[in-house]
Chains A and B, each alone.
Chain A
Amino acid sequence: GDSVTQMEGPVTLSEEAFLTINCTYTATGYPSLFWYVQYPGEGLQLLLKATKADDKGSNKGFEATYRKETTSFHLEKGSVQVSDSAVYFCALSPPLNSGGYQKVTFGIGTKLQVIP
């Protein structure tokens, strides 16, 4: 079945450091890929997405590129801020034309701590 692998962390960075959170996946066909962010005490919210190979999703300075050849969707940000401290979830969903209820498979989440 589908699966998503990411490190649990925590990842601790100083403010303005470069961030990379790795995400690799196993799935058939061409799933949609997502990064969700969960701030303390809140639910998950979509950060960015990519729906086909070589697409780049971006939002709030974060970027991730859909790499079919390496089955990866790594999250990057050039300069993190304290306000980016949160848990980041990589996720995938089958193509809409594959039928079924469109299950979303989540990774375990990576906790990011940014210190001033």
Chain B
Amino acid sequence: NAGVTQTPKFRVLKTGQSMTLLCAQDMNHEYMYWYRQDPGMGLRLIHYSVGEGTTAKGEVPDGYNVSRLKKQNFLLGLESAAPSQTSVYFCASRTGDHVPYNEQFFGPGTRLTVL
């Protein structure tokens, strides 16, 4: 199993450009999440999905959109990138509620710089 994978690993954008980050998991997990990690702020939830075809907003959703057309994939889009979106982005997944605790499995991250 590859676990959770993310592409790309690094990206530099100019202000106003758009891009899509791809997250894929091969563990048949129901839940998927997108976080951003910033110094001194820990991880903040951007959007999440509780199953194929569903998405919902997290703590910091503004400026981002997501889609989960297939169970194994969760896409994060930036329509018009801003310097405030410079961050490290992590995707995570977890299995369903039959497991009695919320262990999340993380991808390796995407480092995004917006100039």
Contact = CB atoms under 8 A, between A and B. Distances in A.
A76 B74 CA distance: 36
Interface stretch (B12-20, B79-87, B104-112): B104-112
Contacts, number: 57
B103 A34 contact: yes
Contacts of B43: 44, 89, 106
A8 B42 CA distance: 9
B74 to A, nearest CB: 14
Given A51-B100, A101-B31, A43 B106 contact: yes
Contacts of A103: 45, 58
Interface residues of B, number: 25
Contacts of B58: 103
Nearest to B49: A101
Contact of B109 (A8, A34, A42, A109): A42
A110 to B, nearest CB: 10
Taking residues whose C-beta sits less than 8 angstroms from the other chain, chain A's interface range is 20 to 34
Contacts of B107: 43
Contact of A107 (B42, B97, B102): B42
A102 B100 CA distance: 11
A89 B43 CA distance: 9
A86 to B, nearest CB: 13
Interface of B: 4, 31, 40-43, 45, 48, 50, 56, 58, 90, 92, 94, 97, 100-109
